[in-house]
A and B are shown apart, each in its own frame.
Chain A
Amino acid sequence: KNEVEQSPQNLTAQEGEFITINCSYSVGISALHWLQQHPGGGIVSLFMLSSGKKKHGRLIATINIQEKHSSLHITASHPRDSAVYICAVGNSGGSNYKLTFGKGTLLTVNP
């Protein structure tokens, strides 16, 4: 079973700061997902990646397969970025639909 660890658990930043959230996993994967969960509870898929880097607006996700590590960066953070960010990994092999989730990182961006 894959173990997914996220750090930090909680992060407080000032508006405009550069944010980094980290995710490590223990065994080989088919893909890694970053999800965002707002206080209202809805979950949105931000990125799915299996190598390299992806960028969407102010969000950048990177993955290092050899080191089994991924980072989610937010540039020029804004209070509306306040949410829980969840890393999830898909197992390699036949059950690649099955995601193992980290416990999430609670990000609070103050104005």
Chain B
Amino acid sequence: DAGVIQSPRHEVTEMGQEVTLRCKPISGHNSLFWYRQTMMRGLELLIYFNNNVPIDDSGMPEDRFSAKMPNASFSTLKIQPSEPRDSAVYFCASSSTGFGQPQHFGDGTRLSIL
């Protein structure tokens, strides 16, 4: 079984550039989560999709961040323009809907903004 697939694994770019992170959830999972992990704040939920619809985006830091899920097998998280403080590891996770379903995490994208 393929797990959650994220790309790229690493991204280094200069501030001001647009960054796009990609996620392919596990087939059949209808919940998708984007998280950010930093040393200072640990893991934080950025946005939650259910059946491709954004349900909770209260964790998205500011307007520079946007996320889309055009279909059940693909989601993107975009940062435009990027800033050094956006440097973090970004995880995508998916799960089946319903109480008690574990979240399956991708390997993460390590983002460095210079």
Contacts and interface: CB of A to CB of B under 8 A. Distances in A.
A10 to B, nearest CB: 14
B105 interface: yes
B56 A43 contact: no
A101 B43 contact: yes
DSSP majority for the B interface?
strand
A98 interface: yes
B25 interface: no
Interface in B46-62: 48, 50, 55-56
A31 interface: yes
B84 interface: no
A98 B50 CA distance: 12
Contact of B56 (A45, A48, A95): A95
Interface residues of A, number: 23
A102 B42 contact: yes
A74 B93 CA distance: 25
Which of A95, A96, A101, A102 has the largest number of chain B CB atoms within 10 A? Answer: A101
A99 B101 CA distance: 12
B100 interface: yes
A41 B102 contact: no
B7 interface: no
Interface of B: 31, 33, 42-45, 48, 50, 55-56, 89, 91, 93, 99-100, 102-108, 110
